[in-house]
Amino acid sequence: MERFPSRRSDAAGLAHRSAPAGLPRRTSNATAEPATAIAYRIRPADPHAHLFEIELRIAHPDPAGQQLALPAWIPGSYMIREFARHVVSISADSGGRELRVRKLDKHSWQVRRCDGPLTVRYRVYAWDLSVRAAHLDASHGFFNGTSVFLRVLGQERQPCDVLIEPPEGPAYAGWQVATTLPEAGAPRHGFGRYRAADYDELIDHPVEMGRFTLASFEAGGAVHEIAITGRHDTDVDRLRRDLAQVCREQIKLFEPRSQRAPVKRYLFQVMAVGDGYGGLEHRASTALICGRNDLPYRGMREAPDGYRTFLGLASHEYFHTWNVKRIKPQAFADYDLRQENYTELLWVFEGFTSYYDDLMLVRAGVITRDEYLKALASTVSGVLRGPGRALQSVAESSFDAWIKYYRQDENSPNAIVSYYTKGSLVALCLDLTLRAQSGGKASLDDVMRLMWQRYGREFFTQRRGLGEDEFPALLREATGIALDAQIKRWAYGSGDLPLAKLLAGTGVALTMKPAESGNASLGARVQTREQQLVIATAYQGQAAQRAGLSAGDTLLAVDGLRVDERTLKTLLARRRAGDKLRIHAFRRDELIECELTLDAAPATEATLKIEGRLNAGKRRLLDDWLGKEKPKPSFSRTGAARPRPDPAPA
């Protein structure tokens, strides 16, 4: 099944390459002996059945019986996923003698003791079209090492070879490989042998295979590649140009003098699908999934709203190359892949990254100041809509990410706050405070640079991370300004942030108005599901909950008239706070009738606008913060910004 038609021609710097027909799909060294004591061979054994087959050779297995395990989670995505559940078969032998493989727990196996080299063969089911796991069909293959490479217990620090082979058959002629795993004989973008310095590196370079569109650009002395898989009609040149600007802006932030990228080679792996959104950061690459219509097309004048979303996602994951892949919390210096790894600092690593992702777009000039402020306003609104922000701090949200942020349910808006969105506003408040108190001489950029110099640059040799309580002192050291009390309130407390005051100091006016068209509110978030109007969340203490309605209830009629999303909106516009409504609803199959007293609609919708007349001081602060206004953005757009979902959970 052929799935990747390409209408692109080769342009400068753009290489859509297909191997000529008849090219041997195995490279000459493919069958040569591996040079390492641990060697994997991975092959898409049956694309239609979504099965990868892996052979693992261990030259010096544990004489007491080798233990093997798959990670319970993938770094960057803080949820226990138990990848071992997709292992469908496993066997082992030594010198042709079959050895018993015993399951120890849900993640681990033990192979019966043997004297000589050990070979383990297993199959992994790969049918998760996300950036977190593995996916295989006749159109392409994608895997993270956490899904397919068994960890050899006790030998995690050993270098390992990986022989990546193509699927058998003429249907797969011309398949290529896109990964930043270091080549050990494989040609660039080819099947063959790759090598990782240790298991930690092995699982940090996902692999894409198939026929994809390739483009490249240079930034900070490093080759940056974009590999787009899936049906799409992207204006690759435009994408390349915009991403190059964003990458250069970030490199300039961390390395203003040398302007050197943190890696020699970087890869954006883009999976274009009908509807999808997500990204996962790695040390030299990122896996992104996006709607194909969010990518730019040729001749596009006004970018679709989704394109800013895509650029923001790419910017976010690229920023992680510094912040979380190299500057890490100490708790992540050596991941424990068997269980949750707790830190209160995800607001620094995800929140700050979320702050800088869009900020880098405006500083790079790929979005305008108005577009940036619209996006920021939508983040402010999103945070203010959730009553849970009064119960949970971003530090607590970080710690409990495993059981709360990543496992949201109907009550989440009442119970939790996002360390992404509120974390990004904490970053904004810190940044604006530093700029105001120093008269523009210090900023959060200085803090990022000090963290980079202290922890990031040498992370892979020193493995030192930011301690749980070190951040306030580090900020002081970087800027000469003490914000310990503010950090305590903003990141470890659950009060609202002084956004309006801080923004005003930089010449930006924040105004708030109610979300709904009228002044009355049901106190619930409603959704249309299977043509029925359903309460998605009944907000804590608000009208719907007081009336006895719950998440999951189906609204049938208000004041005796059938309701849908449109008629409910119209009705609310004609009512006032304090008015009573007679509601008919179903809870499961039981009819409920209740009286609901409308609330005043809370003013949660933020608008941000640069003040009309700025004095010289404010103008300078604004220019320092957002970058000098660019004469011509690379695209212009109209309309409101679409709120961008957090990159991680689905």
Q: How far is the CB of 373 from Zn ion (least distance, A)?
A: 22
Task: Candidates 172-180, 347-355, 386-394, 627-635: pick the segment binding Zn ion (CB under 5 A).
Answer: 347-355
Cα 261 to Cα 249, 291, 425, 509, 550: the distances in Å are: 11, 28, 27, 36, 51
What's CA 41's distance to the chain center, in Å? Answer: 29
Task: Tell me the window of 50-58, 239-247, 572-580, 640-648 that interacts with Zn ion (CB under 5 A).
Answer: 640-648
Q: Tell me whether residue 340 or residue 516 sits nearer to Zn ion (CB atom).
A: 340
Would you say 278 and 647 are in contact if contact means Cβ atoms under 8 Å apart?
yes
Smallest distance from the beta carbon of 90 to Zn ion, in angstroms? 33
CB of residue 648 vs Zn ion: minimum separation in angstroms?
6
User: Any bridge partners for residue 162, and if so which?
Assistant: 40, 194
Binding track over 438-457 against Zn ion, x by CB under 5 A = --------------------
Q: Which is nearer to Zn ion, 44 or 76 (CB)?
A: 76
Residue 59's contacts (CB-CB under 8 Å, 6 or more residues apart) are 37, 38, 117
Q: Which is nearer to Zn ion, 141 or 456 (CB)?
A: 456
Give the nearer residue to Zn ion in terms of CB position, either 34 or 262. Answer: 262
Residues 350-369 touching Zn ion, rule: CB under 5 A, are 350
What residues from 368 to 387 belong to the interface with Zn ion (CB under 5 A)?
none
SS3 131: coil
Characterise 218 by phi-psi region: left (phi > 0), alpha (psi -120 to 50), beta (else).
beta
Q: 3-state DSSP: the chain helix, strand, coil percent, rounded to 5?
A: 30, 25, 45
Confirm if 309 and 349 have CB atoms less than 8 A apart.
Answer: no
Nearer to Zn ion, 312 or 633 (CB): 312
Size of the site for Zn ion (CB under 5 A): 2
Contact track, Zn ion, 300-339, x by CB under 5 A = ----------------------------------------
Structure tokens at 173: 């002629």
Is the Cβ of residue 167 or residue 647 nearer to Zn ion in the bound state?
647
Residue range at the interface with Zn ion (CB under 5 A); choices 218-226, 349-357, 493-501, 632-640: 349-357
Smallest gap from Cβ 354 to Zn ion, in A, equals 7
Query: Least distance (Å) from Zn ion to the CB of residue 647?
Result: 5
Q: Residue 109 CB, nearest distance to Zn ion (Å)? A: 32
* Min CB(357)–Zn ion separation in Å: 8
DSSP string, 580-644: EEEEEEEETTEEEEEEEEPEEPP--EEEEEE-SS--HHHHHHHHHHH-SPPSS-S----SPPPPP
- Least separation in angstroms between CB 405 and Zn ion: 12
- Which range touches Zn ion (CB under 5 A), out of 345-353, 493-501, 561-569, 590-598? 345-353
Q: What is the DSSP string of 133-165?
A: SEEESSSEEEE-HHHH--EETT-TTS-EEEEE-
Three-state SS for 534?
Answer: strand
Q: How far is the CB of 317 from Zn ion (least distance, A)?
A: 7
Choice between 58 and 243, CB closer to Zn ion: 243
Distances (CA, A) of 526 to 13, 357, 410, 522: 48, 30, 11, 9
Select the span of 5-13, 425-433, 472-480, 639-647 touching Zn ion (CB under 5 A).
639-647
The smaller minimum CB distance to Zn ion, of residues 466 and 526, is found at 466
* Residue 320: CB minimum distance to Zn ion, A: 6
**Candidate ranges 118-126, 149-157, 348-356, 614-622; the one touching Zn ion (CB under 5 A):** 348-356
Nearest CB to Zn ion, comparing residues 285 and 433:
285
- List the one residue out of 289, 282, 358, 279 whose CA is nearest residue 320: 282
Say how far apart CA 118 and CA 106 lie, in whole Å. Answer: 22
Alpha-carbon distance of 369 to 373, in angstroms, equals 6
Relative to beta strand 265-273, strand 222-229 is: parallel
In the complex, the smallest distance separating the C-beta of residue 358 from Zn ion, rounded to whole angstroms, is 13
Residues 6+ apart with CB under 8 A from 215: 13, 14, 15, 225, 226, 228, 236, 237, 239, 240
Q: Which is nearer to Zn ion, 77 or 368 (CB)?
A: 77
User: Residue of minimal CB distance from Zn ion?
Assistant: 350
Nearer to Zn ion, 160 or 425 (CB): 425
CB 117 within 8 A of CB 53: no
Q: Residue 272 burial by CB count (10 A; 0-12/13-18/19+): exposed, middle or buried?
A: buried
Going by DSSP bridges, is the β-strand pair 108-111/67-69 parallel, antiparallel, or unpaired?
antiparallel
Give the binding range for Zn ion (CB under 5 A) out of 342-350, 433-441, 488-496, 612-620: 342-350
Residues that bind Zn ion (CB under 5 A): 350, 647
